[in-house]
Amino acid sequence: MKLIVGLGNPGPRHRRTRHNVGFRVLDALAARAGIALRERRFEGRFGAGPIAGAQVGLLAPETWMNRSGAAVEQALAKLPIPDPALDLLVVIDDADLPLGRLRLRARGSSGGHNGLADVLASLGREDVPRLRFGIGRPALPRDTVDWVLEPFTALEEERLAAALPRAAEAALCFVREGTEAAMNRFNGLWPEPTSGSEPAG
């Protein structure tokens, strides 16, 4: 079995914020695969079903972002996940990537993302595949915390309409072919940032 986890914050106030794009990628994948996230398990919304010939669990922790590790740890303890280094994918937002750009990595540090940091600390390892979804930075300097906790603008939502299906396809590629194949296919320069975002990193 494989497990794909999208990170975000619970509650309607946070639903459309930039920090919750991990949830939105997971929901796009669930819709494409016909998997309903209706079960209340592992302190979050959970569903499972076949994707590309493999049994896949989809988890959206409803702890706060910086406590995401507890939910992932519980899921790995209960589900038949052979090797988290190969069979677990964590989906997060990344303000250092232009809006809609994807970056998959097989291992590494949290890069300052509190949710991923908590997952890595809870599991006691850094060889956890992660899919970073770019949310960009504002055109003018401002506090990053305030930025990520604001909703996407209407212009950004237009870009998301194209970018979210592509992120779901990257997760499908991870399931079908593994991290390296997904990296080779989806890490790149597409799409260009919108006028409201500046590339960084």
pLDDT of residue 190: 58
Instruction: Give the CATH number of the domain where residue 188 resides.
Output: 3.40.50.1470
**Annotated catalytic residue 19:** yes
Q: How many domains does the chain have?
A: 1
Read off the pLDDT of residues 18-41 as tens digits, 9 standing for 90 and up.
999 999 999 999 999 999 999 999
CA–CA gap between residue 97 and residue 136 (Å, rounded): 5
pLDDT of residue 189: 56
pLDDT of residue 117: 98
Rounded to an integer, the average pLDDT of 118-144 is 92
Average pLDDT of the chain to the nearest whole number: 92
Which residue segment(s) compose the domain that 165 sits in?
2-198
Work out whether strand 2-6 and strand 54-61 pair parallel, antiparallel, or are unpaired: parallel
CA–CA gap between residue 119 and residue 66 (Å, rounded): 9
List, as one string, the DSSP characters of 151-181.
BPPHHHHHHHHHHHHHHHHHHHHHHHH-HHH
Of the residues 4, 8, 18, 19, which is catalytic? 19
